Amino acid sequence: MALIETKDVTYTYPGATKPSITEVSIRIERGEFALITGPSGCGKTTLCRCFNGLIPHFYQGEIKGEVTVAGLDVAEHEIFELAKHVGLVFQNPENQLFALSVEKDVAFGLENLGLPREEMRKKVDWALNLTEIYDLRERAPHELSGGQQQRVAIASVLAMQPEVIVLDEPTSFLDPLSAKKIFEVIYDLNRKLGITVVLVEHRLDLTAKYASHIIIMDEGRIAQDGDPREILRSEEARLIGVGIPKATRLYQILKKDGARLGETVPLSSDEMATTIKEALENH
């Protein structure tokens, strides 16, 4: 059974004249690293809000269809119950952080689960170390830079060790090296701990190589859904306005001009460099 499954989900925010997402049916299997992308305003964030129950419990409005996460029907379970299974990291960390210290923010979800103090301590330290903010643990989140705040937001979700973490452009305030580090942390969680990842991102240059599954949305609907290498080589993806990684784009236009390159579509500069080397050796 899929870890996240939506069946024909259509949702309209209160007061809106048209739905933000329309007849969305997707399946994300356990252990996948799923990338959701698409033009700004296409419904990505709205879809994520369905995964942890913010829709329909917090956002009213009109919902049709079914959302199941870890076997639970989202409409029938409260947000706090779903939080044990799904962690959501928002686009804007300021919307998420509220405690007086970083440590308290990271511990908040665990306190609500009523864990013993020692276990809580361990999990909090683990999450702080993974995101490299252990030294900031006594600082007030609102004093931190945007990038540091994003790390706190990610740490507070990680501390819960959920089965799936949903990250909505989690590194948009970080510089590229810090962003890369965070993506590697997330990728490690996926590879080593088997945590399912759903990542919403525009910047495929940085993230496509991690993905095992890509979903492209356009105007509230699912436009493409499948293997990243297949989907990102297609002209359709580019025409929707998806920022194809430059390495993949270079492969695409070289192929179009008749260059004899291998059939595996590169998703990163490393893969593209290898593709070129192989092409030269094979001549």
Query: Interface residues with other proteins (CB under 8 A)?
Result: 13, 15-16, 38-42, 45, 91-92, 94, 145-148, 169, 172-180, 202-203, 205, 238, 241-247, 249-250, 253-254, 257, 259-261, 268-270, 272-273, 276-277, 279-280, 283
Instruction: Please calculate the CA angle 224-178-204 and round it to the nearest 5 degrees.
Output: 15
Q: In the complex, what is the shortest distance from the CB of residue 245 to other proteins, in angstroms, rounded to a whole number?
A: 6
Q: In the complex, what is the shortest distance from the CB of residue 259 to other proteins, in angstroms, rounded to a whole number?
A: 5
Q: In the complex, what is the shortest distance from the CB of residue 261 to other proteins, in angstroms, rounded to a whole number?
A: 8
Q: In the complex, what is the shortest distance from the CB of residue 258 to other proteins, in angstroms, rounded to a whole number?
A: 8
> Which residues 6+ apart lie within 8 Å of 32 measured at CB?
3, 196, 197, 212, 213
123 or 151: whose CB is closer to other proteins?
151
d(CA 213, CA 81): 27
Q: Quote the tokens at residue 134.
A: 């252990």
Half-sphere exposure of 274 (CA within 13 A, CB side): 9
Q: Quote the tokens at residue 130.
A: 């993974």
Q: In the complex, what is the shortest distance from the CB of residue 25 to other proteins, in angstroms, rounded to a whole number?
A: 22
Closest CA to 100 of 148, 144, 146, 142: 142
Neighbours of 44 (CB within 10 A): 25
Q: Quote the tokens at residue 141.
A: 């989140």
Q: In the complex, what is the shortest distance from the CB of residue 239 to other proteins, in angstroms, rounded to a whole number?
A: 10
d(CA 99, CA 262): 52
Q: Residue 6 class from Cβ within 10 Å (0-12 exposed, 13-18 middle, 19+ buried)?
A: buried
Q: In the complex, what is the shortest distance from the CB of residue 225 to other proteins, in angstroms, rounded to a whole number?
A: 18
Q: Quote the tokens at residue 245.
A: 């990684």
d(CA 138, CA 156): 14
195 or 222: whose CB is closer to other proteins?
222
